[in-house]
Amino acid sequence: MSEKFRAHHILCTSLYEGKGYSNKFCDNMGKVVDRLRSHPDEAFQIVAEPDLICANCPNQTKDKTCSQNVNRVVDKDRRVIERIGLKENGTYTYRELCRLASGKITYEVYLEFCQKCPWREAGLCKYEDLKRNLSAIASSC
Ligand code: SF4
């Protein structure tokens, strides 16, 4: 069985530049992002629940939910799945996810998912970088 990968992390992993909630979180996120970028044909199960990145997040509770309003995050995952045309719990390579996202994420869709996120508000996660990175990962060999 492939590891779980929550849908909105398609955007976050393509834009990650080393900043995050805590050193422990960043250490894990950096390792996951390096793995995804160096092995884009690895397959993952796309989900709307905690995944390999959430494992070291300080917002994850003991019962594996998100202390930052789990329904909002789960809802964001489900909307990403719908917008990109994925199947919840389906299996996709990271490259496929980036290719599909690259074709579907317009500026309006980006704002729908990222507008209220503190990382965008902090000046990270720009739309132009998202489009460039998704298409670079989709076409890398
Ligand atoms: S703004 Fe937030 S949700 Fe959007 S890609 Fe960045 S970290 Fe992820």
Choose which residue among 6, 19, 75, 125 to substitute to test ligand 1 binding: the one with the highest number of ligand atoms within 8 A of its C-beta.
Answer: 125
DSSP letters of 56-81?
G-TTB-TTS-BTTTHHHHHHHHHHHH
Question: What separation, in Å, do the N-terminal and C-terminal C-alpha atoms of the chain show?
Answer: 25
CA distances 131 to 10, 22, 48, 66, 101, Å, are 12, 27, 23, 28, 9
Mean pLDDT of 109-131: 92
Where do the domains of the chain lie?
4-139
Closest atom of ligand 1 to CA, residue 125: 6
Bigger pLDDT: 54 vs 93: 93
Specify whether the backbone of 18 is left (phi greater than 0), alpha (psi in -120 to 50) or beta.
Answer: left
* pLDDT one-digit tens code per residue, 62-98: 777 777 765 688 999 999 999 999 999 999 999 999 9
Structure tokens at 48: 């709307």
For position 55, what pLDDT does the model report? 79
Q: 44: pLDDT confidence band, cut at 50, 70 and 90?
A: very high
Contacts of 22 (CB under 8 A, 6+ apart): 56, 58
Ligand 1 atom closest to residue 14's alpha carbon, by position in its atom list: 5
Q: Phi first, then psi: what are they for 18, rounded to 5°?
A: 100, 5
> For residue 16, what pLDDT is reported?
92
pLDDT band at 61 (very low <50, low <70, confident <90, very high): confident
What's the pLDDT tens digit per position in 4-37? 999 999 999 999 988 777 788 888 999 999 999 9
